[in-house]
Amino acid sequence: MIEQWPLVKLGTVIREEREPVGSSDGDGLPVLGVTNVEGVTQTGVEASADRSKYLRLRPGHFVYNPYRINVGSIGLLSGTQDGICSPAYVVFKPIERIDANFLRFFLKSAHGSQLINFHGNRGSVRSALRFDDLCKIEIPLPPLSEQRRIVARIEELAAQIEEAKALRKQAAEEAEALCRAILFDRSNGEPIPTQMRKLLSLRQPDVVVEPNEAYEFAGVFCFGKGVFRGQKRTGLEFAYRQLTRLRKDDFVYPKLMAWEGALGVVPPECDGLVVSTEFPVFAVNQELILPEVLDVYFRTPSVWPLVSEASTGTNVRRRRLNPLNFLNFEMYLPPMRTQEKLREVKGNVDKLKRLQAETASEMDALLPSILDKAFKGEL
């Protein structure tokens, strides 16, 4: 902290607000909670039937759960937010000499987090930051004009970071849309509908579970997000006796979630991982179809209802896609020249995603770095 900024205790510039709403229905106001990402929000947690003791929240109030503030769950109500919160929460507001957003950024900074954890871990069985503990935290307090300048600069830089993230996301979405456009463009003649049994062959389990061995599992995300690395577990941790070891470019899905778009081609980073027999695994006939084509096709939302139709079961949430039913599924088979074009484009898309993943952590670290500089007087 720069020397010319005096340190003051928060207790001298904030005041606790504990205004019970008073009515059992909470005056019909929304019940608000706090998360470390969104700040003050409607979390969907079921509220008590009697809300008379819930606390009133008004614009300009800070609110936090004393048991969750250690992970950054503190929020400032905007000028449009209004509601109530659990009486277990702490509600307070600035009273003088301090800009509310300056205080918010300080409490979300690395130094602010360190002080929160220090004052919230003072010998109790479960760490919690009570209002009295919060009041003991010291904050560097420049004049109001300087506070507002710092807030404006932080918000300007934060907006630039969010814009960059949005542009990255848009670029990835547009690249994926290009892949789909190539696959579903039938202007050069109608592709041939072909059954999966010509394109894929079911692989049988090839790993016998040994109780003392560890196995690293793969999984498949729903909604077309692909195959991922799962947890490492020992043979004693699961009930089934056989597993299937994945190979790069295999096709795999979970029987119970395929109808939700949980299908995908095994990427290089999941080569050698295993899945249970609840995950049918197929070898791809690459003389007829390239793995990239399957991956794009089954990650396309318009295809998932067709997969659901091929699934069986009366309970919509428990529909199963059995391997034999899937092998009777038909898809249009593009000409090989179209498939090769798709492979080239998808390869570039995957390179883009890898570059984005490599720099994502750096971008996520920008705002904490900005806050650190701000409270050292370097902005």
Does residue 201 sit in helix, strand or coil?
A: strand
Neighbours of 34 (CB within 10 A): 22
Distance (Å, whole) CA 353 – CA 281:
25
Distance (Å, whole) CA 346 – CA 300:
14
**Residue 47 burial (CB < 10 Å; 0-12/13-18/19+)?**
middle
CATH for 192-333?
3.90.220.20
Tell me the CA distances in angstroms from 295 to 165, 192, 249, 251, one per residue in order: 25, 18, 9, 8
Q: How many percent of the chain have pLDDT more than 90?
A: 44
By the 8 A CB rule, do 10 and 139 touch?
yes
Over range 344-352, report the average pLDDT. Answer: 82
Phi first, then psi: what are they for 341, rounded to 5°?
A: -65, -45
Q: Which two tokens stand for residue 141?
A: 């307090």
User: In the prediction, which pLDDT does 190 show?
Assistant: 67
- Beta partners for residue 83, in sequence order: 57
Handedness of CA 208, 211, 213, 219 (dihedral sign): positive
Please determine, for residue 363, whether its predicted confidence score (pLDDT) is greater than 70: no
Lowest mean pLDDT among 52-61, 181-190, 257-266, 324-333: 181-190
Handedness of CA 40, 46, 49, 53 (dihedral sign): negative
CA 198 to chain centre: 37
Please determine, for residue 369, whether its predicted confidence score (pLDDT) is greater than 90: no
Provide the pLDDT confidence category of residue 57 given band limits of 50, 70 and 90. very high
Residue recorded with tokens 């929304």:
30
User: In the prediction, which pLDDT does 123 show?
Assistant: 52
Over range 75-92, report the average pLDDT. Answer: 91
The 10s digit of each residue's pLDDT in 193-246 is 899 999 999 999 998 887 778 889 999 999 988 999 988 887 767 656 789 999
Q: Give the CATH number of domain 7-141; options: 1.10.10.1100, 3.90.220.20, 3.20.20.140, 1.10.3720.10.
A: 3.90.220.20
Distance (Å, whole) CA 139 – CA 12:
11
Provide the pLDDT confidence category of residue 1 given band limits of 50, 70 and 90. very low
In the chain, which residues fall in CATH 3.90.220.20?
7-141, 192-333
Distance (Å, whole) CA 68 – CA 329:
49
**Residue 166 burial (CB < 10 Å; 0-12/13-18/19+)?**
exposed
The pTM score is 0.60
The 10s digit of each residue's pLDDT in 114-160 is 898 888 776 555 578 899 999 999 999 989 999 999 899 888 888 88
